């Protein structure tokens, strides 16, 4: 089974791009803010939550860069990065509250959860039409080097009998990643997922 969320393009970029940000601190450490910006655009475009993104649609690059500066106080770069799920949830939730978006709730899915549980929750989230912010910290697999200490989005999956591939979005492009490889980092301290849901449920 294969499911992918609809997404958006900005000047040929698949979603936003951290390299566009206005200053070197955001370009180097604004990955958390970038995923929150993309999720906000997604909510406005595909969930009809217009207050989530305070600019015109379709998205243009100039507005997206201005939006990243609005998001910066909520998910600002810091020496160790946004390296815990609760930091991300606190920041993005505060942004949504300030925008009067009260229909979306954020919940942590810790990296200590099993692969099988995580495979199931990824399917549930994507089937429900929700993108998934994902944090990877250290990782032993060379194929995951690009994603070390990084926030990115999962926006689709393809399930096989013995494996699951996910669509990972970052820096204005996407790749297919094996979910088991992504999840089983080889380190005790892991990142995790942010689950978006209906706050009224």
Look up residue 165 and give its two tokens. Answer: 């591939």
> What are 111-150's pLDDT values in tens digits?
999 999 999 999 999 999 999 999 999 999 999 999 999 9
> Quick one: pLDDT band at residue 180, thresholds 50, 70, 90?
very high
> What are 89-103's pLDDT values in tens digits?
999 999 999 999 999
Number of residues that make up the chain: 201
Q: Is the pLDDT of residue 200 over 90?
A: no
pTM greater than 0.85 (yes/no): yes
Per-residue confidence (pLDDT) for residue 199, from 0 to 100: 87
Rounded Cα distance between 35 and 155, Å, is 11
Per-residue pLDDT, averaged over 39-45, amounts to: 98
Rounded Cα distance between 141 and 80, Å, is 21
Going by the DSSP 8-state scheme, the letter that residue 9 receives in this structure is: E
Q: Which residues contact 25 (CB under 8 A, 6 or more apart)?
A: 77
């Amino acid at each position: 089974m294969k499911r992918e969320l609809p997404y958006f393009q900005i000047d040929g970029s698949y979603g936003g791009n951290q390299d566009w940000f206005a200053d070197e601190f955001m370009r180097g450490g604004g990955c958390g803010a970038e995923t929150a910006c993309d999720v906000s655009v997604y909510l406005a475009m595909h969930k009809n939550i217009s207050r989530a993104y305070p600019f015109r649609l379709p998205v243009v690059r100039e507005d997206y860069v201005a939006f990243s500066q609005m998001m910066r106080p909520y998910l600002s770069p810091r020496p160790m990065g946004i390296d815990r799920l609760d930091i991300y949830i606190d920041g993005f939730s505060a942004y949504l509250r300030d925008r009067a978006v009260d229909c979306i709730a954020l919940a942590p899915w810790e990296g200590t959860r099993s692969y099988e549980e995580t495979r199931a929750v990824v399917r549930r989230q994507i089937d429900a039409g929700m993108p998934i912010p994902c944090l990877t910290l250290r990782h032993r697999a060379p194929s995951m080097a690009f994603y070390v200490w990084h926030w990115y989005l999962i926006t689709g999956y393809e399930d096989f009998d013995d494996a699951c591939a996910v669509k990972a979005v970052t820096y204005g492009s996407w790749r297919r990643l094996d979910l088991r490889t992504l999840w089983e980092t080889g380190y005790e301290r892991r990142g995790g997922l942010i689950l978006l849901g209906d706050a009224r449920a």
